Structure 1
Amino acid sequence: MRTLYTEDQIAQRIDEMAKEIARDLPADFLMAPVLTGAFVFAADLLRALYRHNSDPYVDFIQLSSYGGSRSSSGVVTLLKDFSIDLTGKTVLLVDDVLDTGRSLHFGKGMILDRGAVEVKTCVFVKKQTGHAEDISCDYIGFDAKADDFLIGYGMDDDGRKRGVPLLGAG
């Protein structure tokens, strides 16, 4: 595994992102991490937001387009839905990686369909790929090459290596 970003680089960038988000979003926004890959990033981002005087509501959704494979199937499946009503809310959709854009596109559309007034998107890492969906991201932590298979910091290789405390490429 090749190290792309160290623990220190990650902590510094997440703090910078939290400062931007806390400045930009209303105090009562909903942070919506996408399970499973974004849970480590979301936990650190939530703590950093708190240090910047922001304490969002949190609710999770689970989307899948990989299904244990190293490449997207092209179909996004909703595995776990929101637990709360999204009507009138500003939502920060948090994902681990922007690759094809299908998951973010699907999630953002679903959130708007449920009555949210605004959806901002936040990803830990954006791969330099052509996106299948027309999606831009409001907050981006890091960039990675199109052919990098990302491991660590919540991202897995068939369910393993999520706990690696840095971002690597396999």
Structure 2
Amino acid sequence: MRTLFTEDEIAQRIDAMAAEMARDLPKDFLLAPVLTGAFIFAADLLRALYRHGADPHVDFVQLSSYGGARASSGVVTLLKDFSVDIKGRTVLLVDDVLDTGRSLHFGKGMIEDRGAKDVKLCVFVKKLTGHAEDLKCDYIGFEAQADDFLVGYGMDDDGRKRGLPLLGSAN
């Protein structure tokens, strides 16, 4: 495994992102992490936001297009829906990686269809690939190469390596 970003680099970048979000977003926004890959990033981001004066509401959505495989199936499945009403709210959809863009496109469309006031997109890592969906992410932590299979910091290889405190490439 090759280390792409260390624990310290990740902490510094998340703090900078949180400072920007705390300035940009309304105080009552909804932080909406996409399970399962984004849970560690979202937890650290939430704490950093609090240090910068933001205290968002939190609710989770779970989407899947991988199903344990190393490549997207191309079909996004809603596994866990929101448990709060998002109508009229600003929602920050937080995901681990922008690869094909299908999950974020699906999630953003779902949130817009439910009457959110505004939807902002945040990803921990943007892969430098040709994305299947044309998306503009408002907040991007890092970039990785198209052929990097990302593990650590919440991202897994068939359920393993999520707990690594760094971001690595397993290939």
TM-score tier, shorter chain, comes to over 0.9
Alpha-carbon distance in 2 for matches of 1:133, 1:127 = 13
TM-score, with structure 1 as normaliser: 1.00
Runs ≥4 residues deviating over 4 A: none
1:98 Cα deviation (Å)? Answer: 0.2
Give the alignment of 1:79-158 within 5 angstroms.
79-158=79-158
Corresponding position: 1:55 with 2:79: no
Alpha-carbon distance in 2 for matches of 1:140, 1:166 = 17
Amino acid at match of 1:161: K
Amino acid at match of 1:45: L
Unpaired stretches in structure 2, ≥5 consecutive residues: none
Alpha-carbon distance in 2 for matches of 1:146, 1:105 = 19
Amino acid at match of 1:109: G
Amino acid at match of 1:79: L
Q: Deviations over 1:78-115 (max 9, x none)?
A: 00000011110000000000000000000000000001
Alpha-carbon distance in 2 for matches of 1:85, 1:115 = 9
What fraction of aligned residue pairs are identical, expressed as a percent? 82
Match for residue 165 of structure 1? 165
Alpha-carbon distance in 1 for matches of 2:20, 2:47 = 14
CA RMSD in angstroms comes to 0.3
SS of 1:49's equivalent in the other structure is helix
Alpha-carbon distance in 2 for matches of 1:134, 1:168 = 26
Unpaired stretches in structure 1, ≥5 consecutive residues: none
SS of 1:154's equivalent in the other structure is coil
Equivalences, count: 170
Alpha-carbon distance in 1 for matches of 2:151, 2:131 = 20
